Amino acid sequence: MANGAGRVDLDGKPIKPITICMIGAGGFIGSHLCEKLMTETPHKVLALDVYNDKIKHLLEPDTAEWKDRIQFHRINIKHDSRLEGLIKMADLTINLAAICTPADYNTRPLDTIYSNFIDALPVVKYCSENNKRLIHFSTCEVYGKTIGSFLPKDHPLREDPSFYVLKEDVSPCIFGSIEKQRWSYACAKQLIERLVYAEGAENGLKFTIVRPFNWIGPRMDFIPGIDGPSEGVPRVLACFSNNLLRREPLKLVDGGESQRTFIYIKDAIEAVLLMIENPERANGHIFNVGNPNNEVTVRQLAEMMTEVYAKVSGEGAIESPTVDVSSKEFYGEGYDDSDKRIPDMTIINRQLGWNPKTSLWDLLESTLTYQHRTYAEAVKKATSKPVAS
């Protein structure tokens, strides 16, 4: 399969090998996408990132069969004159680079806006000027809050899907006030989407925009103090994993009432591969990529993760598995949240025939098995070290 012989696209046409410039290839999504491209396709990848720890296993010289198809370039796209040359060498650019951790939106709003808007500008410009296709990774956060969230708590229309299901071509983008700096990320991401769209309309840029809805799985984020900063606050899955590994209560921000849908990274990567290999069906579209069947409140997620982790680790749950904290205490001043995030799947079904497969229980089991295998020993060592007085 890896040599790609006889592979065809959704319209039955043979798939030609292409070169992909992947910006942010060393991250969580990039690492899974590189893996998929190396093991199942004939495509070449120019992997650009500041770090390569998550793709080291693909770059080892002994991983012979694809060593000629992946090249790592250590680049910070902020200020590197090599960027345009690498985009020119490729047929397709995929931009995954972003600051995408809610804990940063409040505390580092300037970095957040710069990284998600200003730093992405040259990528869009070079693709447009050199007539190269772009797959730009955005976020489901661009939808902000649902229309339903503005209705009174007990209003019957809150139960009406047209007030909360998020549609790429219809739903408005609703953010909180300017002092709620949590929206700095969503706003920067929305503006770059509008710019990409405008380049398509005015200058003929061939683009696809991806809006991920909570993709989770192995290699996501970091475990504070083990492979990331001790004071760092990763996203919910890694936060809860960290608590479980350390046998601490899981912190529920504002009671864990927010609702989210979670999708397994491997399902999501299938969708991205379809976009890569079916440009005629994907160009000019914005795609929600999520799993509407895996909806839970953050509190329910905490309960499920506690149960799954007890199973995979063989250790019973601690006495008080969760503790409530206020968002101000956890994220600092200026935090705000979106209430509910359910992706509408009509467009991706119609264009790419794609549907997610993995249930929430199964994806948590596979992810927590990985977290336990990868981190349990390191956490035990770190927590048993005597502290200098």
Active site residues: 185
Question: What are the phi and psi torsion angles at 217 (to 5°)?
Answer: 160, -175
**Tokens 């549907």 found at:** 355
Q: Compute the Cα dihedral for 281, 285, 290, 295 and give only its sign.
A: negative
**Tokens 């992997």 found at:** 47
Which run of H or E residues covers position 289?
strand 285-289
Contacts of 46 (CB under 8 A, 6+ apart): 19, 20, 21, 22, 71, 73, 86, 89, 90
Question: Quick check: 216 and 263 in contact, CB under 8 A?
Answer: yes
DSSP summary character for residue 65: G
Q: How many CB atoms lie within 10 A of CB 10?
A: 15
Question: Which value, in Å, is the radius of gyration of the alpha carbons in the chain?
Answer: 21
| Interatomic CA distance for residues 256 and 325, integer angstroms | 9
What are the distances in angstroms from CA 35 to CA 30, 41, 99, 126?
8, 10, 22, 26
Burial class (CB in 10 A: 0-12, 13-18, 19+), 254: middle
Residue type (1 letter), 255: G
Question: Quick check: 132 and 88 in contact, CB under 8 A?
Answer: yes
Q: Where are the beta strands (DSSP E) in the chain?
A: 19-23, 44-49, 70-74, 92-95, 133-137, 165-166, 207-212, 215-216, 250-253, 259-261, 263-264, 285-289, 295-297, 322-325, 342-343
Q: Compute the Cα dihedral for 265, 267, 272, 276 and give only its sign.
A: positive
Transcribe 265-283 into DSSP letters: HHHHHHHHHHHHH-HHHHT
